[in-house]
Structure formats: C-alpha cells, structure tokens
Amino acid sequence: AKIRVGLLFGGRSGEHEVSINSAAAIAQALQIGENGSKYDILPVYIQKNGVWLAGDTASKVLETKTPLSTEDTNPSQLWQFPPQVQEVEVWVPVLHGPNGEDGTIQGLLRLMQVPFVGSGVLGSAVGMDKIAMKMAFAQAGLPQVKYRAVERSQVWSNPCIFPKLCDEIEADLGYPCFVKPANLGSSVGIAKVRSHSELETALDSAASYDRRIVIEAGVNARELECAVLGNDNPKASVVGEVTFEGDFYDYETKYTEGRSQIHIPANLPDKIVTQIQEMAIQAFKTVDAAGLARVDFFYVEETEEIYLNEINTLPGFTKFSMYPQLWKATGINFEQLVDQLVQFALEK
C-alpha cells in the first residue's frame, strides 16, 4: 500500500505565499516517477487565520498558488482538524517562519505521534530564534559577527533609557549595523542602519514585530549557503553563493524575479569549501536539527574570514530555491531529495 503523506502548507506567517510555492513543487515531486507509486498525498492548507483545510480546497490553493482569503477566526475552529488528518502516516511540514518553522507545529505533530520531515521541537525553536541560535553557536565555538540582544521593553518602556541604549549599541557595533526581529525569516522586519536616528527608528520598528531583537555589526562579505541533509550522520552539499544588486538581501530582492542570482558551486578555494561544509554540519548538530537545513555564511575574501550567519530549518523549497539546487549539483535531484526527506522522517 502507498504511504499516506500529509503535506502541510500555508500557515500563520509572513511567509505564507512562499510556503504555497514550496509546497506546490514538493507535491509535484511526490507524484511523479517512483515516488508516485510509493506515496499518496493529502494536501492540508493552514489559512492565514490558522484554520486547517484539507481536500479539494487545499488542492485548489496548491494548483492556483493563491492564498484563500480568511474570515474572522472562531477559536473553536482552530481545534477542528479535517477528518482526513487521522489517516496521515508521515507529515511534510512546508511552513516557513513563525508558527511552522519554530517548533510549534512540530510539537503538535509529535503529540499526534506521527513522524514528520525536518527538525523536532528543540531544533526548530533554537534555529528560529536568532538570540538562542547565536548563544548556542557561540558556545560551540562557531565564528559569528559581533552582536547585541535587546528586549522590546528596553526599546519601548522608558524614554530615558532608550537613547542611552542606542549610544551603547553604536559604540559597541558601529555602522552599518543590522537590526533584526529575532524570530522571523525572509528578511522580514530587518533594517540596515547607518546613523543614530536610523538605529532608533529601526529598533522601534523591530519591536513591533518581536519581543526579542538582535543587532549585528555589518560585514562587507560574500554570502554563501550550504545545504545539510540527514539525521544522526548528516551530509553537507556543495557550497552556493547568492549575489544581488542593492543594499542587502531583503524581502523584495529575495522574491522578485531577476533581482538576485545563485551560483553553484561558488567560486572558492577548496580549503574554504571544506571549512564551510564542516561548520554547516556543526551548526546543524549544535541546534539539534534533523532532516534538512540550509546554513548561511558571510565570507570576507580579503581576510579569508568566515562567519556563520544563521541556520534555516525549513528553507525555501521551490524548484529554483537554493536548498534543492545545492543538492542537485551534489548529485541528488529534486524528486530523490523529497523521497529521502520522507525516508529520514520515517527512520527518526
């Protein structure tokens, strides 16, 4: 009998649309070739209000790649899962950002006692929160840019403390620096700042996205990414590079066709490639990731310095996304990759 795969997508996140695109590609890959005779897919769409829908409505969202508009949520709807959910034998969560990449869905699936692709509760949560992630990486001795963590309450509550806090950050990190909400993705809410007044504005804005905020010293560096696949003995892919016009790799640059390019493999000395692959696996293990992750780096060519930027435990997964492209260049095509991920979930 075929294995019943629950494809979970959409979600209560700023990356809802990205998730639909990733899920459409994965759904297709699960239906063709050998995968088609192995797997039977149940698409399950999580609306922007958090309500789960299965069946034809979910399939339609995948086909049209268009989110459904939502009405106000009745809290009781949030616990009314579609009945087909009970038949799922393995889940493929394709949710990016909050309420999907951060351990919340992983906790729910674990309570259901059904295996799922990707990191568990701990790996997802540590990988999502940039402050927790940086602390874990620091403890593991992984190189990172200089940073500060601040709380929303420091930004908003006391008008006397805030300017002083900005003075301190300025003295510590200099300009440019990057202000980031700790728990988002796709560059949502991130600002590159170059002055005291921009710093104040950016912190105030970041505080509206998240209770926890990170400020990092800016580096002028190449951006490299490495894909990791596996559970207890994870493997690293070849290394890729992202280039783009513009100030930094912001949301618009990421998702506007033609604004950024990926280069696989990146043109790098072998020694640097090896170091990045080792660091990617170390980062994966440090946060207790599983299944898949994309690990992002900054590389300063002149000094040969490598800084670990972040781990993404549910990276973008369209045909054109970096993660599947890195594996393709390493010898695992899209269909094989999706199959391996499901198999890693079943063996976990």
CA-CA distance, 171 to 173, in Å (whole number)?
A: 6
Q: Which 94-153 residues touch ligand ATP, going by CB under 6 A?
A: 145
d(C-alpha 35, C-alpha 236), whole Å: 24
Which partner, Mg ion, ligand ATP, none, binds residue 184 by CB below 5 to 8 Å per kind?
A: ligand ATP
- Beta-bridge partners for 122: none
CB-wise, 296 or 335, nearer to ligand ATP? 296
Is it true that the peptide bond before 324 is cis, omega within 30 degrees of 0?
A: no
Report if residue 106 touches Mg ion, rule: CB under 5 A.
no
- Residue 312 engages Mg ion in binding (rule: CB under 5 A): yes
Does residue 129 touch Mg ion according to CB under 5 A? Answer: no
Complex with ligand ATP: residue 30 or 179, whichever CB lies closer: 179
Identify the DSSP state of 73: P
Q: Give the span between the Cα atoms of 162 and 154, in whole angstroms.
A: 7
Of 52, 116, 249, 344, the one binding ligand ATP by CB under 6 A: 249
Residues 267 to 306: which contact Mg ion by CB under 5 A?
Answer: 296
Closest approach, Cβ 164 to Mg ion, in A, equals 30
Which positions from 173 through 192 interact with Mg ion, judged by CB under 5 A? 185
Residues 24-63 that bind ligand ATP (CB under 6 A): none
Query: Which stretch, 30-38, 105-113, 138-146, 311-319, contacts Mg ion (CB under 5 A)?
Result: 311-319
What are the distances in angstroms from CA 219 to CA 31, 35, 69, 174, 186? Answer: 43, 43, 40, 11, 19
Shortest distance (Å) from residue 7 CB to ligand ATP:
21
